[in-house]
Structures are given as C-alpha cells and as structure tokens.
Amino acid sequence: MWLARSFTLAMSVLVLSVSAYAQSSTAVPRHETLIVENPEGTIKNAGWFNIWAVNAGGQSTGLHQLAMDTFWYIDPDRGLNGVWDSSLASEPPIYNEDFTEMTVKLRPGLYWSDGVEFTADDVVFTINTHLNTNELIRSAQVQLNVDSISAPDKHTAVFKLKKPNSRFHSLFTVRWNAMWIMPKHVFEGKDPLKFDFNPPVSLGSYVLHGYDPNGQWFTWRKRDDWQRTSLARFGEPGPRYVTYLDPGPPDKRVIAQRNHELDIIHDTSPEGVFTLVKQSPTSIGWFEGFPYGHPDPTLPQVIFNHQNPKFQNRDVRWALALALDIKAIVMASYRGAATISAIAIPPTGTHPDYYHKPMQEWLSNFEIDTGKKVIKPYDPAKGREIAETLRPSMGDQIPSDPDKIDAAFGLGWWKQDLEAAAQLLERAGFTRRGNNWYMPNGERFSIKLVVEGEARPVMTRGGSMIAEQWRRFGIDATTESAQAAFLTRRNGGDFEAIISWSVETWGGHPDLSFFLDSWHSQFVQPAGKVQTPRNWSRWSHPELDKIIEQIRAIPFDDPKGIELGKEYVKLAVQEMPIIPLMSYNVFTMMDTKYWTGYPTADNPYTNPVPNWSNSRYMMVRLKPAAQ
C-alpha cells in the first residue's frame, strides 16, 4: 500500500475525529489546506483508486473532483464562463447529419501527472477496454452505443455509433460525474477489473499526497505542472492541499466548522445551519440569509406506482395533490428552508429562466373541471407566502427583494382545495362515509407512503406530513420507513407511493433529456422487474413518447428543445403522474476563516456541494483569507 513519503507517522494511524486529524497533520500547513467533508464517510477499501471498476473504493474522496477529467462539463449553476465547458475536448461534440457518428476534437498540451502527454490514444484505449470488458461501471453504456472508435490523429477521436443518438455526448459530460478517460500507459496490460490504480495518475490539477489506510481521510497536493491541465485555463488553483475526510454525524460537522477544522460541510441539518449562523460568524451558505442551502437540480416528489390500480386515474392523483398544504410540508421537512416547484422540473440553476418564470401565465390560467365546478388551482404567490410566514421569526434573514425571495423559496404551488379534491374522488367513483373515503370496489382508500428513514430525515419528515394531511382528508394513509432497503424497493416497484425523485436535470442547461429520455414507454418494466432508471413511477403516455422522440431528433442546443420541454411540463401538470414538491436543498456551509471566494447565489460560478465533480472549478476562485 502506497503512502506519500511527506506524511508523518501520525497521519497514517486511524483518525477518530476532525480535531484529531487537524492535530496530527503537521506535515500539511493549515493555511494552505482546504478541508472538505466527504459524504461517503469512511471508505472501506481506501487503497482502491480504480474509479472505472467497483471494489468499495471512494469517488468523492477528491478522486473524481481533482484527479479525473473528461470531454465536457455542464455546470448546475452558471459556470465560470457559461454553463458549458469543453474540458479535455477543445469544442462541443461534432455529430454527422443522422447522429450516428460523433467526432471529438481534443485539447492539445494536456499531460498526465507522470509527464505523459494525453492524446486520442487514451480515448481509444478507454472505449475499447469497455467494449471488451463486461462489468466495468460504464461497460453497458458503451457496449449499447458504440460500434467502433478510431483516432485519425492524436487530437481527434471518432465514435461510430450503433444507432442514432443525438445525446451520446452525455456519457462524457459531467453533471455529478461522467465517464472518465483512462491513462493507456498505466492500464495497458492490466486487468481493468482487478487493478487498484494505486497511486492514481492524475489528469486533473492535483495528485494524491497521502491517505488514511483506514479510509477516513485523503489529501491531494496541487501539481507542480498544474498549467498542463484543463483547469489551468481559469487560473491557478488556490489551495496547495485539499483534504477530504469523514467528519462524523451532523452535530460533529457543525462543531468542527465552528472550530475552523472543517472548511466545507457537504450537508447538515437545518438546525445545524441555524447553529452556525448564530455561533460562527465566518460560516456562510449558498444564500446570504434564509434558506441558506443550495438547491440541487433534483426534484423530491411524491411518486405514485402507476402499475397500482389506485393511481391510474388522473382525477385521483389530482385529488391527492389538492389535499396537500405545501407550506406545512415545507415547514415539516426543511423547517421552511425549501425552494418549491409546482412543475416537474427542479427550480434550480437556469431552469427558472427557461421554464418556471415563462410558464407562470399558463399555470395561472390552467383549469380543472371537477364535474361540479371549474377551478384554477395554481397560486403564483405561494413561495412569497412562505417567506412572509417566516419573516416574524427570522427577521432580516428573509430577503426583501422579490426576485431573491423567488430564487430562495420558489414561485407558486397548488392551492389546498379539499372541496375540489372530494369532487374529483367522487367523479372517480369513490364514496365518503363520515370522513372516510372508500374506493369504487368498496374497500377503504388506503395509501402506504414509503420514506427513506434516518438516512434522509428531511424527506422523511416531509413524507410524514403528507400522510398526515391525507389522513385529515379521510384517507387511511401511513408512512413506512424502508431504511437500507429503500433503493431496492423503489427500483423494484415495491411501493404504492414513495418520497424520492425521478427528475434530475443538468441544472445549468435547459435540455431535459438527462432524465426525460428514460421516461419513454420503451423502458417501462413489467411489475416485479427492476425498473431502468429513472422512471420509478413507471408512468407512460403516448404524448410523452412523442415529445421524447422529437427531442431525440434535434441537436442538444436546439432552441426547439426548450419548447418541447414546456410541452412536457404542460402534460405533467395535466396528468399529475407525480406530485412535485421542491428542489433537494443541500445545506453546504463554507467557513471563510482560511479561504474566501466560495460560490454563492450572488456569485453562482459553480456548485458548492463538494462531492460533485463540478466543484473542481471552485479551486481556481478560492483565495487565502487575510489572517
């Protein structure tokens, strides 16, 4: 097992806390080191750096943020120079007319950390390795799409595809991560499923400096030749060292940052944020004030199992939506610190500009005929109402600028309308006896709402409030905590309704294919089979298929994609296949004691959440704080 020679003996023993780490790391000057939480926790197989194969190694140990690289990045926010960044590639992908061939022009002058030049030979090797090797993480995606690859010269790679695919480049485009390029000269002759890649040869601006063999911390050092990496276009990275570690549970993270031993908390509880705001004047969040957290391009929602007859009637789904009070759900889940969305797109990055704001008029005019009356269910001021509810207790922490309120709390949501909800259920053949609802077959209308449990308390609290509101309406609704079985049950369709997300977007780019393509009916699995990501509801609709097929036929940046995205939004509103709730807000807190220049809502140059690969862009903006 390899360890950097410059680390002291104390650095190689088990680190029991952030404080112990800080005291033992005498070989790394604190004022030159950025200390970051790794939400993966303690890594079981700490010496495994082969990110292309599964073997209990870590990813967000700094490995995929600082050492890996690929063709393109799309920032979930605004980006350093726009949301699209050509990284190893020198320009966007070049497709032929029918999208059966993709050419990648590579950026010259880039080198691996051992001094070997990066060329198209590395790209060809990476693809052929995946074509010839099953069970690598990306093997199936490559084998499904790629017929062959060639390199006409050392700065050009040409992919021949098995079928038209206008979004093939997404495989090499970072959202959270992507397919990374392998160093041919290192992996050649090795078994890619068994080779540990230790020490890792880096294509990024940092190299591994040392790590705890017990998996609690990993430290990376800025390359002496950082100028020969793709990130150098934006300047020199600020921190000389970056350490990713397991700081323990939320309360320990808060204490560590308050003591200036943890520069970036990946995520904590709303209560932890409130503690830091009161006790740590150097701690900042994404928003200057409440709600502080960064809205990820992910949409928590109520997901109905559309293979369950209970949820196959649109009137029933809409009734369940109209029985909810989003303000109460926000207060229960995020203690008010949420960014709501009535439409099936997260209210993050550039999406409000492309979708939420332009569709306000359509949403306000949208009507539902309950059979007894016609209603306009949308309340465009719901986000501001939540802000005003919080203002008496939060004071100046609630922004006063209407645009900032909209950005922080979201725009509108559906009005709670129990009368309309009852009328929709009655039209669907349901009957009410006292305050209890019965289905057309005479059975009590019951819903088991699956939540994740202790691993995701914010969503669990929100689910509990939703079930409570349905019970008040007369439905026999209960929550069921799946705990470690959550993903297995969600993916396998073992639920009636579940709190999770099936909508994840690029964030910074308006193209919705990242999740929407997987909603095509061709991917819906029969009951009892594991569902292909990400259509966990297994909803299908002929109009949705038409929208997806039209998106597939146009280039990634075609403005028509936005219009087709709006058609998807309208269809999802009309059909209510899921109940959108809010963005997944991550309470990333950043300490300015040693470093300044973090991304914020006022300077949204990248995602501050440190386990995202995009967070590498933060390094070139961070500067030492005056001591």
Same domain, 330 and 227: no
Same domain, 183 and 53: yes
Distance (Å, rounded) from C-alpha 187 to C-alpha 117? Answer: 15
State the pLDDT at residue 6: 35
State the pLDDT at residue 382: 98
User: Which of 609, 516, 613 is closest to 85 using CA atoms?
Assistant: 613
In a domain, 286, yes or no: no
Distance (Å, rounded) from C-alpha 85 to C-alpha 80? Answer: 9
C-alpha distance from residue 261 to each of 247, 591, 594 (Å): 10, 9, 10
C-alpha distance from residue 402 to each of 313, 399, 563, 589 (Å): 38, 8, 27, 24
Residue range of the domain that includes 408:
295-585
Same domain, 531 and 576: yes
Q: Residue 199, preceding bond cis, omega within 30 degrees?
A: yes
**Mean pLDDT over each residue of the chain, to the nearest integer:** 95
Phi and psi angles of residue 139, each rounded to the nearest 5 degrees, phi first = -60, -50
Q: What is the pLDDT of residues 478-534, one digit of tens each?
A: 999 999 999 999 999 999 999 999 999 999 999 999 999 999 999 999 999 999 899
Same domain, 302 and 428: yes
Polymer length in residues for the chain: 627
Distance (Å, rounded) from C-alpha 332 to C-alpha 323? Answer: 16
Distance (Å, rounded) from C-alpha 265 to C-alpha 42? Answer: 15
Distance (Å, rounded) from C-alpha 531 to C-alpha 456? Answer: 22
DSSP character for 536?
T
- The residues facing 448 across adjacent strands are 478
Angle between helical axes of 270-279 and 250-258 (0-180°, round to 10): 20
Distance (Å, rounded) from C-alpha 87 to C-alpha 68? Answer: 11
b/e burial code for range 49-87 (CB count within 10 A of at least 16 → b): bbbbbeeebbbbbbbbbbbbbbbbbbbbbbbbeebbbbb
The end-to-end CA distance of the chain, in Å, is 38
In a domain, 144, yes or no: yes
Distance (Å, rounded) from C-alpha 568 to C-alpha 503? Answer: 12
State the pLDDT at residue 627: 74
Same domain, 239 and 98: yes
Dihedral Cα 85, 91, 95, 101, nearest 10 deg: -100
Same domain, 581 and 602: no
Residue 510 near residue 360, CB atoms below 8 Å: no
In a domain, 168, yes or no: yes
Q: Does residue 157 sit in helix, strand or coil?
A: strand
- The residues facing 303 across adjacent strands are 498, 578
In a domain, 279, yes or no: no
- As given in the structure block, the two tokens for residue 22 are 């800080």
Q: What is the pLDDT of residues 520-555, one digit of tens each?
A: 999 999 999 999 899 999 999 999 999 999 999 999
Angle between helical axes of 326-334 and 382-394 (0-180°, round to 10): 50
Same domain, 533 and 602: no
In a domain, 438, yes or no: yes
In a domain, 1, yes or no: no
* Segment-wise mean pLDDT, segments of 10 residues, the chain, 627 residues: 35 43 66 97 97 93 98 97 98 98 98 98 98 96 97 98 97 97 98 98 98 97 98 98 96 97 96 96 96 96 98 98 98 96 97 98 98 98 97 94 96 98 98 97 98 94 98 98 97 98 97 97 96 96 98 97 98 98 97 98 96 97 93
Residue 588 near residue 264, CB atoms below 8 Å: yes
Q: How many domains does the chain have?
A: 2
User: Which of 188, 172, 170 is closest to 180 using CA atoms?
Assistant: 172
Computed on alpha carbons and rounded to an integer, the radius of gyration of the chain in Å comes to 25
User: Which of 263, 226, 258 is closest to 243 using CA atoms?
Assistant: 263
State the pLDDT at residue 259: 98
Same domain, 572 and 617: no
In a domain, 266, yes or no: no
State the pLDDT at residue 182: 98
State the pLDDT at residue 225: 98
State the pLDDT at residue 19: 54
State the pLDDT at residue 27: 73
Phi and psi angles of residue 280, each rounded to the nearest 5 degrees, phi first = -130, 90
Q: Does residue 113 sit in helix, strand or coil?
A: coil
Q: What is the pLDDT of residues 322-353, one digit of tens each?
A: 999 999 999 999 999 999 999 999 999 999 99
- As given in the structure block, the two tokens for residue 511 are 């193209």
Cβ atoms within 10 A of the Cβ of 367, count?
9
- Determine which helix (DSSP H) or strand (DSSP E) holds 413, and give its type and residue range: strand 413-414
Same domain, 167 and 197: yes
- The residues facing 378 across adjacent strands are 414
Distance (Å, rounded) from C-alpha 571 to C-alpha 620? Answer: 42
b/e burial code for range 182-207 (CB count within 10 A of at least 16 → b): bbbebbeeeebeebbbebbbbbbbbb
In a domain, 289, yes or no: no
User: Which of 5, 23, 12 is closest to 218 using CA atoms?
Assistant: 12
Q: For position 392, which CATH number holds? A: 3.10.105.10
Same domain, 175 and 322: no
Same domain, 153 and 73: yes
Q: Does residue 439 sit in helix, strand or coil?
A: coil
Same domain, 428 and 308: yes
Residue 430 near residue 437, CB atoms below 8 Å: yes
Q: For position 123, which CATH number holds? A: 3.40.190.10
Phi and psi angles of residue 285, each rounded to the nearest 5 degrees, phi first = -115, -170
